[in-house]
Structure 1
Amino acid sequence: MTATALPAIVSLLLIGDATLALRLANAAQIVLLFLVGYSWAQHAGANRWKTGTAIASLAVGLVLVAVVLGG
């Protein structure tokens, strides 16, 4: 398990309402993915905001697909 999974796991363990906990876990993961993309772009010499936004947008798209499919 990596450290980036901890915020999602904590929200799932502490919140009784499963739907709310899942939405908070998704939001936490999207923010973390933005931060990872932002940091990675700095090392790669790319635009940090564009890279972070692109990775976070991909995550939002995957979450939307999961929600549409019943997740």
Structure 2
Amino acid sequence: MATTNKDIKKINLPVEGMTCAACVGHVENALKGVPGVLEASVNLGTEKASVEFDPAEVQFQVLQEAVSGAG
């Protein structure tokens, strides 16, 4: 089944403990590697990750685990 725009959710996840641009890259790559994630961007200054995803393919908890696992 094709994903339509109405199926897509956009959330902001808190990301604590980042100290440099490399941390941003690690978190972004971890999120983008999750099946069902369409886009992810991380802001070091606000310590938030903006994630667009298909909730039919990925659960919120999996996104949180990806952020935590990024180190």
Common topology (TM > 0.5)? no
Larger helix proportion, structure 1 or 2? 1
TM-score of the two chains, using structure 2 as the length reference: 0.32
TM-score (norm 1): 0.32
Higher relative contact order (CA 8 A, sep 6+): 2
Q: Which has more strand, going by share of residues? A: 2
Bigger radius of gyration:
1
